[in-house]
Structure 1
């Protein structure tokens, strides 16, 4: 059973890299590229939208949002492009790049929510 999970994790990692390469492909429609950039950016981001410290919810984004995004993108990307990008993903060493832009956006969202919460609390007191 553990081997099956490890195999699925490897396959998921391969799909993320294939989608990463598909973002740069000219045959991929612009709306698919936008979604792909969001999914890949979030997958490669060193910071999660919901921190893993929060019980259960912290891992739900990694276990549900990213795989759902990948499944949707696999259907949206043309099959020939996806096959080419999968080969390109297999040829790389799969070293996970850090996406600091996505991390910055997530930090900004958290800071904005904290600021809005502070204003809300300040108005109550």
Structure 2
């Protein structure tokens, strides 16, 4: 999937959510195993890689009461010469200064094709609308 299609997919998701009254954001992130665009709607996040190989992820976050911390669980698919599917989980924190949010995530991901854990982290910046 080329970068134009990836970008169109994320823009389409963003436009579809504009009619909903919700906590919606778009941003960029860097980290392992890929870097790219993020779309967040309430507590659901979608990640799309912008590097030279395809990557796609989604997860649901669970806010830790009255703190900037959250837990998350989800999955990701990464095409790195072979196909990798992983169950993702971890902990994160977000500092929000409207309309921006800076976040960092860290957690062990279980790669199902190899049945091994890898500790991965990412950081990103979102714009809420």
Q: Choose between structure 1 and 2: higher strand proportion.
A: 2
Larger RCO (alpha carbons 8 Å, 6+ apart): 1
Q: Which has the larger radius of gyration?
A: 1
